[in-house]
Structure 1
Amino acid sequence: MNKEEQVMISFRELFNKMAWLNKSKMEDSFKGYKSSEVHYIECIGKNVDSNVTKLAESLYMTRGAISKMTKKLIKKGLIENYQKPDNKKEIYFRLTEEGQRIYKVHEKLHKEFQERDKVVFDQVTEKQLDSMLSFVENYSKHLDAEIEKHGIDIKSDEFD
């Protein structure tokens, strides 16, 4: 196995371990909610004036999938839609009081997980972090180019 394969396998294992460790706390904290719903709530909570297009770009999902989920979240009372007085065409989303509660619990858990893992990051130099961030950024740009090269528009509804 070459080093590139080792890196990719290590990334997958790392992600899977984090997901496994975090899973029970996340499930206990969000009974009755699916992880995808919590991620939408997180995205809307972090982005002011979220609309279907903005959410599709942030979550790498189609606009059709976003529309379905936002309807579901509105029905559950977690988000509400609104329009700006100067733009009656565009529909935006914001968290309701219950959505805010879920968002705050989610943020608290992320901080807790970050604190748990701080011992590792305390051992990493600034230069090492910069190197890792550079690699991830370069790889992400490469994947964006590959997506574009294949004519895949993740923001369209072509996969629905």
Structure 2
Amino acid sequence: MNKEEQVMMALRDVFNKMAWLNKFKMEDSLKGYKPSEVHCIEYIEKNVDSNVTKLAESFYMTRSAMSKITKRLIEKGLIESYQKQDNKKEIYYRLTEQGKVIYEIHEKLHKGFQERDKGVFEQVTVEQFDSMLRFVEKYSKHLDAEIKKMGMDVKSE
């Protein structure tokens, strides 16, 4: 196995372990909510004037699929739609009080996961972080270019 394969396998393995380890607390604390719904709530809270297009781009989903998620979130009373005075065509979303409760639970869980893993990150040097970040950025740009070749839009960062 070459270095490239080792890195990719290691990244997948770490991601899968994190997802598996975090899954139990997430499912227990956020019963009745799908991960896609919770992450949609998180995005809406952190991004002003969220709409279906922005959400779909962020999650690499179709607008149709994202519309179904936002519709479910409205039905559950977690988000509400609104329009701006100067643009009655576009529909935006914001969290309801109930949606903010779910957001806060999710944030506390993430802070707990960060605290659990803090010991590992405290051992990483600034140079190591910079090196990892350069790699991730380079690989992400490569994937953006591949997505663009397929004729799809890539969210701009």
Indicate whether the TM-score tops 0.5: yes
Inter-partner Cα distance in structure 1 for 2:38 and 2:52: 16
Question: Partner residue of 1:68?
Answer: 68
TM-score, structure 1 normalization: 0.93
Q: Which runs of 4 or more aligned residues in structure 1 lie more than 2 Å from their structure 2 counterparts after TM superposition?
A: 152-155
Question: Partner residue of 2:48?
Answer: 48
Structure 2 residue ranges without an equivalent (≥5): none
Superposition RMSD in Å: 1.2
Deviation at 1:154, TM superposition (A): 6.8
Amino acid at match of 1:16: N
Inter-partner Cα distance in structure 2 for 1:141 and 1:54: 19
Deviation at 1:152, TM superposition (A): 3.2
Question: Partner residue of 2:142?
Answer: 142
Inter-partner Cα distance in structure 2 for 1:108 and 1:99: 14
Q: Percent identity?
A: 76
Deviation at 1:151, TM superposition (A): 1.8
Q: Deviation digits for residues 21-44 of structure 1, max 9, x if unmatched?
A: 111100110011111111111111
Task: Give the 3-state SS of the residue equivalent to 1:117 in structure 2.
Answer: helix
Question: Partner residue of 1:58?
Answer: 58
Residues 38 and 103, structure 1, Cα contact 8 Å, conserved in 2: yes
Q: How does 1:1-160 map to 2 (within 5 A)?
A: 1-153=1-153
Question: Partner residue of 1:158?
Answer: none
Q: Size of the alignment, in residue pairs?
A: 155
TM-score, structure 2 normalization: 0.95
